[in-house]
Amino acid sequence: MTADRGQTFETESTEFREAVEHSRTVFQEYPFRCVLSFEPLIASLEADMEEREDSGVHNRKALEEILSQAPQLGGPIRDRAVLRRLGPSLEKLMSMVFPSVYWETEPIAAVVPFTMEPVFVSGTFRSLFLNKDGRFAGSRNVPAESFDRGRLIRAYLLVLDKFYGIHHRFDYPLIHIVQDGQTGLERHYKMDLDFRFVGVRHTRDEGNHLEPEKHRSVHENLNNPEKLRDVLPPENFEIYGFTLLRAVDVTVTAVLSALERDLVDQESMVSTEGFLRLQERLRVLYQRKDLRAGIAALQDDQVLLLSTGGELNRNCVFQSSRHIPISEFQGTPYERAVRERSALSIPDALEEPWPENLRQDIEERGVRSLIIAPLYYKGDCIGNLDLSADEPGAFGPMDLLVTEQLQPLFAVAVQRSLSDLHSRIEGLIKQECTAIHPTVEWRFRKAALNYLEAARQGKTPELEPIVFKNVYPLYAVSDIRGSAGARNQAIQKDLARHLELASTVIQKACEEKPLLFLRELARRVEGTRERVLTELGSGDEVSVLHFLKTEVERFFGELAEMAPRVRGAVEDYYREVDARTGTVYSLRTAFEESVTLLNDRLVTYLDGEELKAQGLFPHYFERHRTDGVDYILYIGDALNETPGFSELYLRDLRLWQLRVSCGMAWHTEDLKKRLKVPLDTAHLILVQNAPLSIRFRYDEKRFDVDGSYDVRHEILKSRVDKARIKGNNERLTQPGKVAVVYSQLDEAREMRRHMEFLMEAGYLTGEIERHDLGDLPGVQGLKALRVAVDLDSQELARAAGASPKSMP
């Protein structure tokens, strides 16, 4: 018998026979008696011959000849030495069911039932699964304990099906993993078990009936061999025949399933150990030991390498550059793959157009064959999977089909990794920078990404400076005129009213009981009231309240007992005093409500207009509300991921600023008649043509000018609203007017043109005033234009009133 044909174990070497004996010893603890027998096969052949009359006579004679030459094949074979003499007869018997061509080309074996003891193996099976000594090579997909448990369950199911009419399927994929002799990589084979030639019989005379209690116990414990053993002792049965094993290559299916499981773990995408495990599976899938893999994600305007199977040390697409400008890939096969939305196979990477830096890296790496698979998630390209090899033409059309199955798996994994990365970046930004304006958020994401990358590499992470150079500031303020005086007046009147109520209580008490102390206390209260009405000092509010609490209200309980009229005065006192503040607060409440309503109206209008302006060109915007609203706007190329700034947008925003100031004045006038305390607003714009640099201050969590030269603008912002006209000392900002402060003649010319345009539009009215301003601390030489807002203009009412749909 040749080595390519089916082989009995007895025709093999002494080492093979010793391996069989070892296998038999291992399974001696198996509780069922398992006997090699060809009786089930012979019975099956005879039954088939009865049904097929055309070929039955010839086959029957062949079978009878085999059994006459080897009668031992018709019964149980307990002595393996018998098979030494039965090799040719056994081969003839097996070939009656399985043509010899199968045994020469297919991995097939016959083993003793429920053991791994080989009886007859094909050459292919032997080369794949057996070592030189005849032992099984490789590993299984289930641990030994689970494998043994499964063998027991399957044997019990055979017994239950044969004798007790209990039918249950038990299908568990048994995968055997071996090393390919040529590539040295894993191959996965599913072992299909064929039990057609396995029978079972009683070893004791027992019936085929189970009592109801035992029947129920069997049904409840089909997966519990220990419990089944109590009902059906295995020594009562003998399993005979042989099991046929067919090995089916399921490497692709098994590896795809393993990849899917691995990709659920986010660390497999970003950790070296996890990714190398993924790469090893890909090598098995493509059966290329030199395969290298890389996964990249699109992050803003960069390609971010999440992982790579190469050396992690240099800046190239195949290595741990981590950040590569996406512009470097224009005109390369990467761009072509994304454009065509399909995996692309490059037979020889050196023949493709690459930028010089990428070509140099590819040559140094020795990359020749390349598969580029773009990864899409919900219609958007979010990255790509690279597969490379050292030989040209390493990947064929079938490899592209396999790659198409991988793309959805890796796309979901990349998206999950990106989502996790974004969450970590957002967390870092919120922790270190608080809320960030959307226009510049991209720059903070990059800084956070670099911070996390440094931490990943074991370096000391530090958030890099965030500086935007050559940006133009646009500052404006709409200030509630006289708010400080109005607030002080409200405090003054509330305190006077509080003292008046206290005086009423004491005077009525004096009328009931003219005590000298009460007269002296009444004089002190009235004197304090007159002083408060005359002039309110900075600490008077606190001192007056302390006086009332400690020296007046402490006697109200006793005074209230003097007479009903005194008690009524005390009740009137507490009815008007605010329980939360402990003082009369009516005028201050009216003032604060008025300020809040006006601020809400102004902020709502400003935010609505700002949202429209953002749509024209992105810019940084920051506002503050106190007694009125002030805001700063920065615009310039440095603030945007995609350049596109021009002076056109700067001029448009300055005109926008002037128009918005008109709208703020109109809203103030429109709301004034509904306020409990009438309020006015004055409006100022600061113009500066020279660009500056701004830096984010991590400690203060805000932007500030960068450099001593640019500090002048910050000084102007803090002081310009207090500016007065040189010569007459009149305050520059006036209710119903817009003032524009500048220092250069070209700034004045531009703003004058804008004012004239808005006059023609019906927003402004009167003459444009020009003024020199008095010196401010640290600032000299400022000038200003001032013009009145046409508060009766229907054009302005339509434009300003329609911006927010509803106003308070």
Task: Let me know whether 707 and 643 are in one domain.
Answer: yes
Burial class (CB in 10 A: 0-12, 13-18, 19+), 621: buried
The confidence score (pLDDT) of residue 22 equals: 43
pLDDT at res. 68:
86
Mean pLDDT, residues 587-597 taken together: 93
Lowest-confidence region among 337-351, 677-691, 702-716:
702-716
Q: Tell me: pLDDT of 247 over 80.
A: yes
Residue 451 is assigned to a structural domain of this protein: no
Please check the confidence at residue 574 and state whether its pLDDT lies above 90.
yes
Identify which of 474, 481, 484 has the alpha carbon closest to the alpha carbon of residue 683.
481
Q: What is the distance between the alpha carbons of residues 757 and 533, in angstroms, rounded to a whole number? A: 49
Residues 194 and 260 in one domain: no
Q: What Rg value do the Cα atoms of the chain yield, rounded?
A: 47
> Would residue 264 count as lying in a domain?
yes
Q: Is residue 443 part of a domain?
A: no
Tell which wins on pLDDT, 710 or 527.
527
Q: Which of 159-173, 185-199, 289-303, 450-464 has the highest mean pLDDT?
A: 185-199
Asked if 141 and 40 sit in the same domain, the reply is yes
HSE-CB for 92 with a 13 A CA cutoff: 17
Percent of the chain with pLDDT over 90: 37
Structure tokens at 550: 């400690």
Could you tell me if 451 and 462 are in contact, meaning their C-beta atoms sit under 8 angstroms apart? Answer: yes
Counting beta carbons within 10 angstroms of the beta carbon of residue 377, is it exposed (0 to 12), middle (13 to 18) or buried (19 or more)?
A: middle
**What local confidence, expressed as pLDDT, does residue 425 receive?**
62
Tokens 């949202």 correspond to 611
pLDDT at 319 over 50: no
Mean pLDDT of 313-341: 62
Confidence label for 423 from pLDDT (cuts 50, 70 and 90): low
Give the pLDDT of residue 784.
Answer: 94
> Average pLDDT, stretch 564-569?
92
pLDDT over 80 at 327, yes or no: no
Cβ neighbours, 10 Å, residue 587 = 21
CA 56 – CA 54 distance, rounded (Å): 6
Looking at residue 432, its pLDDT comes to: 56
Q: Clarify whether residues 685 and 550 are in a common domain.
A: no
Confirm whether pTM is higher than 0.85: no
**Higher model confidence: residue 682 or residue 137?**
682
Mean pLDDT of 81-103: 79
pLDDT band, residue 433 (cuts 50/70/90): low
| Arithmetic mean of pLDDT over the chain | 83
Whether the CB-CB separation of 318 and 367 falls below 8 Å is answered with yes
Average pLDDT on 723-727 reads 90
8 Å CB contact between 586 and 780: no
Question: Which pLDDT does position 136 carry in this prediction?
Answer: 84
Q: What's the rounded mean pLDDT across residues 714-735?
A: 88
Domain coverage including residue 177:
7-241
Q: What's the pLDDT at 299?
A: 67
Confidence at 430, pLDDT banded by 50, 70, 90: low
pLDDT in tens, 632-688: 999 999 888 777 889 999 999 999 999 999 999 999 999 998 999 999 999 999 999
> Which of these three, 541, 562, 584, is where a domain ends?
584
Confidence of residue 519 (pLDDT cuts 50, 70, 90): very high
pLDDT-derived band of residue 20, with 50, 70 and 90 as boundaries? very low
pLDDT in tens, 381-407: 888 899 999 999 999 888 998 999 889
The mean pLDDT value for 485-493 works out to 90
94-104 in b/e burial notation, b at 16+ Cβ within 10 A? Answer: bbbebeeebbe
For residue 53, name the pLDDT band (cuts at 50, 70, 90): low
**Mean pLDDT value across residues 248-263:** 86
Question: Does residue 634 share a domain with residue 557?
Answer: no
Same domain assignment for residues 86 and 104: yes
| Cα–Cα distance, 363 to 561 (Å, whole number) | 104
With respect to residue 475, please indicate whether it lies within any of the assigned structural domains.
Answer: no
- pLDDT band for 25, please (50, 70, 90 cuts): very low
The more confident residue out of 56 and 219 is: 219
Amino acid in the structure at residue 552: V
Same domain, 504 and 522: yes
**One domain for residues 515 and 639:** no
Q: Which of 443, 298, 259 is nearest to 383 (CA)?
A: 298
pLDDT mean over 586-594: 92
What Å distances lie between residue 553 and 32, 502, 541, 560, 580, CA to CA? 101, 8, 16, 11, 16
| Whether residues 321 and 234 fall in one domain | no
Which residue shows structure tokens 């791994």? 116
Pick the last residue of a domain from 533, 557, 584.
584
pLDDT for 314 beyond 50: no
Same domain, yes or no: 227 and 275:
no
Residue 649 and residue 781 in one domain: yes
Q: Select the more confidently predicted residue: 765 or 702.
A: 765
| 131 inside domain | yes
> Is 278 a member of any domain?
yes
Q: Tell me the pLDDT band of 132, cut-offs 50, 70 and 90.
A: confident
Confidence of residue 754 (pLDDT cuts 50, 70, 90): very high
Of 32 and 447, the structure prediction assigns the larger pLDDT to 32
Domain count, the chain: 4
Does residue 470 fall inside a structural domain? Answer: no
Q: Residue 223: its pLDDT value, please?
A: 85
Tell me, what's the pLDDT at 800? 84
748 and 674, same structural domain?
Answer: yes
Task: Note whether residue 385 is domain-resident.
Answer: yes
Q: Which residue has the higher pLDDT, 682 or 776?
A: 682
Interatomic CA distance for residues 681 and 666, integer angstroms: 10
Which residue among 536, 562, 584 closes a domain?
Answer: 584
